[in-house]
């Protein structure tokens, strides 16, 4: 157990639907990162939050949004889902942004049918 | 934007052979990190390099950071079946963004 909790572990939904993925960072970590990993692909950086504020943005689609709440947990919202959104979504956390080690959660596997 | 390229994408070796993966960034990095993802698992941190020309060792693994802080390598000596997985480098910038390479998937034949 890495200390980063992601729910749900698996999610199957249909095209056009909306889902929310949730992440609780490791105790003491203030920064949360979201990554997307498609089949046999690398880790695509989506977005980063630090202490509730958006810190950095990657190749996140406009259909996707995220936020970090006062208790530091984060949610990634994916809407108008397409088949190509099927992927493993990882949340990671670190003490602070910058030169810090990331601790990854086990991931949420999204399948869009 | 910043890109981190990693080669090779796949590597099959016989147990006992050496293995090396290379990482190159389009921009100068503030640091480089290496992660390992076992099949069906999540990435797990291995090491971080910060200084130009830095070399660090962990048992059979040797990590290097280039003098220009734009490239890095991971070398495994005498691979074992437990080394199987995907190795990712991740380049850190001063903004805090961490960009991952595409990863090198290592298969080890016993």
pLDDT in tens, B18-29: 999 999 999 999
Got the DSSP string for chain A? --S-EEE-SEEEE-TT--EEEEEEPPTT--EEEEEEE-TT---EEEEEEETTEEEEE-S--TTEEEEE-TTS-EEEEE-S--GGG-EEEEEEEESSSSS---EE---EEEEE-
| B96 inside 8 A of chain A by CB | yes
The answer to whether B43 contacts A104, with C-beta atoms less than 8 Å apart, is yes
Vertex A95, ends A108 and B54: CA angle to 5°? 100
| B10 inside 8 A of chain A by CB | no
| B33 inside 8 A of chain A by CB | yes
CB-CB contact of A44 with A59 (8 Å): yes
CA distances from A1 to A76, A106, B46, B79, B80 (A): 21, 8, 16, 26, 24
| Position B80 confidence tier, pLDDT thresholds 50, 70, 90 | very high
| A74 inside 8 A of chain B by CB | no
Query: Which tens digits make up the pLDDT trace of A4-57?
Result: 999 999 999 999 999 999 999 999 999 999 999 997 678 998 999 999 999 888
Token pair recorded at residue A14: 């249909």
The answer to whether A101 contacts B48, with C-beta atoms less than 8 Å apart, is yes
Which chain A residues contact residue B45 at CB under 8 A? 101-103
How high is the mean pLDDT of chain B? 94
How high is the mean pLDDT of chain A? 93
Average pLDDT of the segment spanning A103-110: 97
């Amino acid at each position: 157990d890495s200390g980063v909790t992601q729910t749900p572990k698996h999610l199957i939904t249909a095209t056009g639907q909306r889902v929310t993925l949730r992440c609780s960072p490791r105790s003491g970590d203030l920064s949360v990162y979201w990554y997307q990993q498609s089949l046999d692909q690398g880790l695509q950086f989506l977005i980063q939050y630090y202490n509730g504020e958006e810190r950095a943005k990657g190749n996140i689609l406009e259909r996707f949004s995220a936020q970090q709440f006062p208790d530091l947990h984060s949610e990634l919202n994916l809407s108008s889902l397409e088949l190509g959104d099927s992927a493993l979504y990882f949340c990671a956390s670190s003490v602070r942004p910058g030169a810090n080690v990331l601790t990854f959660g086990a991931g949420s596997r999204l399948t869009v049918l | 934007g910043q890109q981190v390229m990693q080669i090779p994408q796949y590597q099959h070796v016989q147990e006992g052979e050496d293995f090396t993966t290379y990482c190159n960034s389009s921009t100068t990095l503030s640091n480089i990190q290496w992660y390992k993802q076992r099949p069906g698992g999540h990435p797990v941190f291995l090491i971080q390099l910060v200084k130009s020309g830095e070399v660090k060792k962990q048992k059979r693994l040797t990590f290097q950071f280039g003098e220009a802080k734009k490239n890095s390598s991971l070398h495994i000596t005498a691979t074992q079946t437990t080394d199987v997985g995907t190795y990712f480098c991740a380049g850190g910038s001063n903004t805090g963004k961490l960009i991952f390479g595409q990863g090198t998937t290592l298969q080890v034949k016993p």
